[in-house]
Amino acid sequence: MTGNRVSYTLDSSLESVNTAEETAQQFATKAGFDDDEIMKISMAVREAAVNAVLHGNAYDPKKKITVGFENTGASLVITVADQGGGLDVNNIPDPLQPENLLKTSGRGIFLIRSFMDEVRIRSLEPGTELTMIKSIGGRAAEGKEASK
What CATH number corresponds to the domain at position 44? 3.30.565.10
How high is the pLDDT of residue 138? 62
What pLDDT score does 103 carry?
66
pLDDT at 5 (0 to 100): 92
The residue range of the domain holding 75 is: 5-146
pLDDT number for residue 57: 97
Q: How many CA atoms lie within 13 A of 107 on its CB side?
A: 13
Predicted pLDDT of residue 93: 67
pTM: 0.84
Question: Which residues neighbour 91 within 8 Å (Cβ) at sequence distance 6 or greater?
Answer: none
pLDDT value, residue 59: 94
Nearest CA-CA partner of 116 in 141, 135, 89, 143: 135
Percent of the chain with pLDDT over 90: 71
What pLDDT does 97 receive? 73
CA 139 to chain centre: 21
Give the pLDDT of residue 92: 72
| Distance (Å, whole) CA 123 – CA 74 | 26
State the pLDDT at residue 95: 62
Low-confidence ranges of the chain (pLDDT < 50): 1-2, 139-148
> How many domains, the chain?
1
Spatial strand order in the sheet of 5-11:
5-11, 64-71, 75-81, 128-135, 118-123
pLDDT of residue 100: 61
What is the reported pLDDT for 2? Answer: 45
What does the pLDDT read at residue 105? 62
Q: SS3 of 6, please?
A: strand
